Chain A
């Protein structure tokens, strides 16, 4: 990211935080005194922190770029290797489809299909198609085995669909 885009990200983030704070504040007005005291405090703090982020970014733009790294858990920002965003989008789409289809197909069938699809999204172009197919087939077996382990051995229910 360029410093300009980081500055823009920070300003938009600050506005979003202030917007969320305003939403919480407005919603809290309909609550009882006991139920609203904590949310109101959080709302005021969010608005304040959001505005502070905007002000500090505008006053010291160099901080915007520096703030992109350093915090615990922001590892992904520290390793600027080649990134293929279409794979991330495809993964999100497959998982959304998985969540929606699970109610109809059940965990085992939808899980098997999703496993193969995610393996394809992750490995496409990086490994031979035959190896990818083998991984997909093994994955389906893992899904079936794991589902049976959960339901039969551990008695932990798994999502059931309308078809299965």
Chain B
């Protein structure tokens, strides 16, 4: 009954308006490549200081969840992840848009995001303290194996030539090593150029790797950028709902995975969506169709990345350890509002914390009407814009977006250089996604590897450190299962066929 009171507090017209406005602006900012969820929350955080704590936090949560979702628009409509967590949405979202199913892809992404967001918030509401303690048990070896689990996705990303996929991933890992080493502080691979000491910014790199090749291809090809069906099908709500219901296991699994990965500090939406995509592909009976515009790919990535919102808030609110960068800003806002973070947050300051969580839940639900409306007109709008206007507009957004990350001109130059390099590599058959994967996971893998090695060497038990922990073993089993499953699957189906042929004879 007490919870019902907090729900009523969250339902005031002012809080509802804040949630709606927050989701709307968050989705718009998230849709623009380079303007991430972190930036959206950071830019708008000062406006919340004058508000009541719960109201201010509801607005921040709404902006955050809206921005994570907004990344899907650019991913689906122009093959460019609006935020890093939408990388994997490009794999199937853009092929769907290219064949004229862009509106359907956006609606599926919206509904999946809402579902994933609700699962994340419900887990935050119901099981935050025990889950937060699990996150504390993640040390360097567990992070290393988690990064390796993400890297095994190369197999899925490079159908046709795995060696090229591995090389592309190694190039991404190399890019992640440029600059000051995370452990030890060595300055590496800068070619004595001071501008490279800061390394390759992940977001700028992703904008370049995904955006610039798209621009070049749009310019050189004599064909429309998106297919448009003669009869505009509307929101396609029923069709999307039936697709989601038909794939409910994938939806639920991806949402839970997203929440669990979101809990891990530093992991974030990009890893969550990539791992969920890999799992969805692995479990699907139509795994060969992934990457050609299969709705299950969009369902997996979009439910997972929005589930990280609730997941990331679990360690933030219970332990004071932010799960993702936007959580760190929300944590700062909580502290500015005078809220004491810790396990007692949900008891001693229940009024604020529960109102915030219920507000986040309402904001997540608001994503449905807001997303459907924006999505419908965004698809129609982008498909109607002539290429001669769309190409310079995207080019302008890539420049301004990569500059805005750190107000650094070097990021713009790096973004463009990596983009041109990625286009050439793409022409030679090296896919861009493994490069992005290596760039995103490189620092996590290296940090985990070196720290585990150092701790193991100090304890004279390097192998024990790498392979000893129960969580490490569980992740290693998952990795092995993932790598061996296709071989097992083909052996099983071969055996089945042999038995069936024998029976027929």
Residues of A bordering B, CB below 8 Å: 6, 9-10, 13, 17, 20-21, 24, 27-28, 31-32, 34-39, 42, 45-46, 49-50, 52-53, 56, 63, 66-77, 79, 81-85, 87-88, 90-92, 95-96, 98-99, 102-103, 107, 111, 114-116, 118-123, 126-127, 131-132, 135, 138-139, 142-143, 146-147, 150, 154-159
> Are the C-beta atoms of B188 and A150 separated by less than 8 Å?
no
A118 touches B391 (CB 8 A): yes
Is the pair B95, A68 in contact by a Cβ cutoff of 8 Å?
no
Chain B, interface residues (CB within 8 Å), range:
35 or more
Q: From the candidates A21, A34, A102, A147, name the one contacting B450 in the complex (CB within 8 A).
A: A34
Give Cα A92–Cα B274 distance, bound, in whole angstroms.
31
What are 21 inter-chain pairs, A to B, with CB distance below 8 A?
A28-B188, A32-B184, A32-B186, A34-B450, A37-B450, A37-B453, A42-B177, A70-B159, A71-B291, A72-B433, A73-B426, A73-B431, A82-B222, A91-B219, A96-B416, A111-B400, A118-B395, A127-B388, A139-B393, A142-B396, A155-B43
Known: A72-B159, A123-B387, A143-B396. 19 other contacts (CB 8 A): A17-B167, A17-B170, A38-B449, A42-B173, A42-B174, A49-B163, A67-B160, A68-B429, A71-B157, A72-B433, A77-B426, A79-B223, A91-B219, A102-B412, A115-B395, A139-B392, A146-B396, A155-B43, A157-B407
In the complex, the answer to whether A31 meets B161 with C-beta atoms within 8 Å is no
- Nearest-neighbour CB distance to chain B for A52, whole angstroms, equals 6
B392, A76: Cβ atoms closer than 8 Å: no
B450: chain A residues within 8 A (beta carbon): 34, 37-38
Q: What's the least CB distance linking B492 to chain A, in Å?
A: 24
Any chain A CB within 8 A of the CB of B50?
A: no
Report how far A45 CA is from B442 CA in the complex, Å: 14
A-chain residues with CB within 8 Å of residue B221 when the two chains form the complex: 76, 79, 81-83
Contacts of B189 in A (CB 8 A): 24, 27, 39
* Bound form: Cα–Cα A82–B90 in Å: 24
Q: Is B377 an interface residue (CB 8 A)?
A: no
Partner of A127, one of B170, B223, B386: B386
Partner of A158, one of B94, B216, B386, B404: B404
* B454 interface contact, C-beta 8 A: yes
Q: Would you call A13 and B430 a contact (CB within 8 A)?
A: yes
What per-residue 1/0 map shows which CB atoms of B396-416 lie under 8 Å from chain A?
Answer: 100110011001010011001
- Flag whether B91 is at the interface (Cβ < 8 A): yes
**Chain B residues closer than 8 Å to A77, beta-carbon distance:** 426-427, 429
A31 contact from B170, B186, B403, Cβ within 8 A? B186
Which of A50, A72, A139 contacts B157 (CB under 8 A)? A72
B378 within 8 Å of A by Cβ?
A: no
Contact A70 B386 (CB under 8 A): no
**Which of B173, B392, B416, B426 has its CB near the most chain A CB atoms (within 10 A)?**
B392
Most B-side CB within 10 Å, residue of A31, A63, A122: A122
9 closest A-B pairs by beta carbon, nearest first, are: A70-B160, A35-B186, A123-B388, A67-B161, A34-B184, A71-B431, A118-B392, A72-B291, A115-B392
* A27-B189, A122-B387, A135-B388 as given contacts; A71 in contact with B420, CB under 8 Å: no
B480 touches A (CB below 8 Å) = no
